Amino acid sequence: MYLAAALASFILLTGLLIDFARVAAFRKQLELAVKSGTRSVLSAYDPVVRERYGLFVRGGDSAIDLFRRAVEGNLRQGETGGFRFLDGRWENGDVTESRPLADHAVFRRQVAEEMKYRAPIDLALEMAARFRGLHGAVREAAATAGTLEQARKAYERRERALDDALRNQEAAGKAPVSAWRDLVPEPSADGGAMSAGRPRTVGEAVRMYADYAAKRAEDDARRARLAQWEERQKNGETDEPRPEPPLYEEATSAYERGVTELAERLRREAADLRADAEKAILEALSALEEAKAVNEEIRRIAAQNGAAVSSSGWDAGSAGDSSAMSGAEGLPVEEVRDLRRTVSELILEDSFFTEYEKELEAQLGDVRRMAADAERFAGIAAAAPGTAGLGAAMREQALALQRSYALCRSRYDAPGGEVIRRRREALEAHRSRDGERKALEREAREKMQSAAGLLRSIGNRKADGEQAERFRRAEEAAEANLAWNQRQKEWARRAGPSDDPAEERDRALESAGGWLGALDQAAAGLRDDLFFSEYVAGRFTRFDPSLLRRLMDGDAALLDLSNQETEYILYGFREPAANLAAAYGEVFAFRLAVRTLEGLAESRSLGHPLVILAGATVYGVTRAAADLDRLIAADSVPLSKYVEVETRYADYLRLFLLLHGDSAAALARVIALIELNTGIAAERAFTYAGGEGSASLGLWFFPGIVKMLGTAGGWGGQVTGNRYVATYSADMGYQ
């Protein structure tokens, strides 16, 4: 009896251990089978997308069919026609696909996976080595050109203010001289007597006065005699003939009217001219004060940049600057930097403004003095009618007025006044190079207009209906992708080339600094932008420069999207030619920046800072336009006259891609092109699969006890009837 009980216990324990072992082995087999099934689903990728774009997306057979076949095959693995230790049976399963390629985060990870080894090597071997050292040099050129341009604008504001001062100064002197030119100077009041009549000038009023007084006295005497005769005649006291009547009434009356009008005009105009002169001189002083303030601004610019040049040097703590320094050999960095010191040549000494201020105040005093002399003479002249003793006083005051008028005329009459002439000469002395500078600026503007015309003509080419339709479909697909990612469309601004060479030069230097800075950062480890730029450069078409002349000659078929995928990704314009114009516009900007760097060094011999800037701009625009022609003709242009490295159109596009980066709009355009070129729907091109499968195992011994022990022991799964059922899931992705 005891032996039977022991044997039964032994058999029970052995059976339980056997079923326990079978369940454990079955669970491991099912886990491996589900993982294998999930891997099998992902192994069916789209070969076209993989081959053409290096990306993995689900393709091929149905995911659930692949999953089921793989799981069932693994469950039957090792089966023979004999004894089956694990008689597993597939029950059910499902596959969930997710993370479509349309998702920007998924797309970035796929691109990073594809490019993480190749892109840094490509960049180090090609781009970084080719453009090494240029970033620091262009940065110095931008700083120097910016300083000189800042000084030029301040200089022109100062000179405009000085021109305003001179213009008001001339007006303050010219107005009274012109107003009294026919009234005061001739004839001299110190000349011989003149017959009385209507005086038209100050001198005539003085010189007629003696004759007027004599004739008036004689006429007064005649009137008195006539009055006496008439009285005696009335009383019958005389039979003498009638005395002569006054003979000079017409002349004396004309003098009195003339001198009265003359006095009134002088008094009225003296007040007006004094007020006008005071206003003009005050405006001249205000303009002079403005010029002085701008001169101090130029002084600050010179001081700041002088200190910057003295203390400048490569920042050894910056990896980007260190690399720039190591590759800067041969580039005229120091020469360009030293040009900033020349700004001090534009500064006017403080004595210039002090002397000019005193000059304006003296002029105002002279005009006031002349007006006062005119008013005093007017007062005497107004009292002259009916008098006989004002001749000396009138002559003395007239001579004082004529002297003060002659002084104002000799000093301030434009353009021959001595003070005005000297002031104009003083202004022209520090503007001696303005003519040369403006001639260079006109030349630069003409050449810039020619280059801008070429770029605009590229952008004005029209595509035919079929080509335009492809761009429309690409734009719609890109917009749909942005909407799917819940991102806003980034509107591309089509800013055409400017006809202003200075504006284009400054914009070019700023842009080139950004491109080269992005290159330095990429070489130092910038990840996503580098991967994206190199991916686009390696996987998408770009417009062959050799085709541009044919396009310009009217071959509109070249505007097909298949010829300019990279340009479309970069700029996203719906008009095909606009993308090409934008690309070549940025190429021109880069070449203009490099050539401006050279131009600053080449123009040092011109001496004057603003002439150097104008000369560098002419040099830059001329050489950049020639570079564009050479690039179109041969797809090769030297990086710089100081760096004998050939660069190609593709190199510049890679730079631009680095700066523009993997923006949402650019990513959407890439995905749109992949959709158009492969026919896939990116929103359903899944890159992640989650598989879940259930299978069962028949229990050999005591299912009820196993079920109880399984539940208590944490085996997982469940026992149904005499079968143990387990479920496993696995998630996998391409990245």
Size (the chain), residues? 735
Cα–Cα distance, 452 to 440 (Å, whole number): 18
- Residues of the chain above pLDDT 90, percent: 26
| More confident call, 435 vs 71 | 435
Q: In this structure, are residues 731 and 690 in contact, taking their beta carbons and an 8 Å threshold?
A: yes
Q: What is the helix (H) or strand (E) element at residue 163, kind and residue range?
A: helix 134-179
CA distances in angstroms from 347 to 34, 185, 291, 353, 355, listed in the order given: 83, 42, 11, 12, 16
Q: What is the DSSP letter of 635?
A: S
HSE-CB at 74 with a 13 A cutoff on CA atoms is 23
How many whole angstroms from its chain centre is CA 612? Answer: 22
pLDDT at 494: 46
What residues pair up with 719 in beta bridges, in sequence order? 724
Contact 61, 45 (CB under 8 A): no
Structure tokens at 731: 């998630």
For the stretch 272-321, pLDDT in tens is 999 999 999 999 999 999 999 999 999 999 988 765 555 554 443 333 44
The answer to whether 588 and 455 have CB atoms below 8 angstroms apart is yes
- Mean pLDDT value across residues 341-365: 93
- pLDDT, one tens digit per residue, over 35-70 is 877 887 778 888 888 889 888 888 777 777 777 777
Q: Give, as one character, the DSSP assignment of residue 342.
A: G
**Is a pLDDT exceeding 50 seen at residue 559?**
yes
The DSSP call for residue 58 is: B
User: What is the Rg, in whole angstroms, of the alpha carbon atoms belonging to the chain?
Assistant: 50
Q: Is the CB of residue 642 less than 8 Å from the CB of residue 626? A: no
pLDDT digits (tens, 9 = 90+) for 697-721: 777 766 666 556 555 445 667 777 6
* 98 beta partners: 688
Looking at residue 516, its pLDDT comes to 67
Residue with tokens 């130029």: 298
**411, 416, 422, 427: CA torsion to nearest 10:** 130
Structure tokens at 256: 């009195």
> By C-alpha distance, which of 301, 341, 352, 349 is closest to 608?
341
Taking CA atoms, 447 is separated from 39, 204, 391, 438, 441, in Å, by 63, 64, 73, 14, 10
**Closest to 536 measured CA to CA, from 119, 121, 130, 127:** 119
* pLDDT digit string, tens, across residues 92-141: 778 878 888 888 888 888 888 888 776 665 665 566 667 777 778 888 88
Read off the pLDDT band of 71 (50, 70, 90): confident
Instruction: Please report, for the chain, the start and end positions of each structural domain, with discontinuous segments joined by +.
Output: 2-101+686-733, 112-131+435-678, 153-306+319-429
Residues 6+ apart with CB under 8 A from 419: 173, 359, 363, 411, 412
